[in-house]
A and B are shown apart, each in its own frame.
Chain A
């Protein structure tokens, strides 16, 4: 899921 990997961004 794309949402999860956003979490490496501020």
Chain B
């Protein structure tokens, strides 16, 4: 463990908590893409299949359970409890366009052709593109509530910090994982225009308005 990875995990946890608080306190999931949340739940499920078979540390196991529980709690809030506030009309990204290529690629490019490893690889590829429906929805609505942009900033920062962690691990322990690293770069690059808007607008107290 290093401060970059710990920072990344905490940013990820913060993002998940911000989202749950936003939906719970406003009792609305307006502006949030349920499809991205489905992809995140799918990502954690595919990645943490070894939750009971591969004990790494208490921290690792606790965080996996928290991520899984939060992901499914968010789906429950969005598709059951506050279903009436879910914005179907703007959350129209076709999930099969993301899930099928990630699954296909995981079968072709992986570290080892075993169930656990292919599922892990699938979760890595899927997570890289899981935010697309959300970014697509923000571009369709043309704006995002500031709480939603804080959520996206924390979520984007998490994998950016993981990239720093991988660079650090490469130089400090010679560890590298090209699949996780390249997918992490793609995932972070997808946030770039959002990061720009967040820093130039939201931090100045303006609303996040995407150029129409």
What are the interface flags for A1-10 relative to B under an 8 Å C-beta threshold, 1 for contact and 0 otherwise? 1111111111
Q: Are B175 and A2 in contact (CB under 8 A)?
A: yes
Residue of A nearest to B66 (CB): A10
Q: Are A7 and B50 in contact (CB under 8 A)?
A: yes
Is B197's beta carbon under 8 Å from chain A? no
Give how many B residues have a beta carbon under 8 Å from the other chain's beta carbons: 24
User: Chain A contacts of B64 at CB under 8 A?
Assistant: 10
Residue of B nearest to A7 (CB): B54
User: Chain A contacts of B56 at CB under 8 A?
Assistant: 7-8
What are the interface flags for B118-150 relative to A under an 8 Å C-beta threshold, 1 for contact and 0 otherwise? 001000000000000000000000000000000
With A10-B63, A10-B67 known as contacts, the answer to whether A3 contacts B175 (CB < 8 A) is no
| Cα–Cα, bound, A5→B176 (Å) | 9
> Could you tell me the dominant secondary structure of chain B's interface residues?
helix
Q: Tell me, rounded to whole Å, the shortest Cβ–Cβ distance linking A6 to chain B.
A: 4
Q: Are A6 and B180 in contact (CB under 8 A)?
A: yes
With A8-B56, A9-B5 known as contacts, the answer to whether A3 contacts B63 (CB < 8 A) is no
Q: Are B60 and A1 in contact (CB under 8 A)?
A: no
Q: Are A3 and B179 in contact (CB under 8 A)?
A: yes
Q: Are A10 and B12 in contact (CB under 8 A)?
A: yes
Chain A to chain B contacts (Cβ below 8 Å), 20 pairs: A1-B112, A2-B111, A2-B178, A3-B112, A3-B117, A3-B179, A5-B175, A5-B177, A6-B120, A6-B177, A6-B180, A7-B120, A9-B5, A9-B180, A10-B9, A10-B12, A10-B60, A10-B63, A10-B64, A10-B67
Chain B positions within 8 Å of A, measured between CB atoms, are: 5, 9, 12, 50, 54, 56-57, 60, 63-64, 67, 110-112, 117, 120, 162, 165, 175-180
Chain A positions within 8 Å of B, measured between CB atoms, are: 1-10
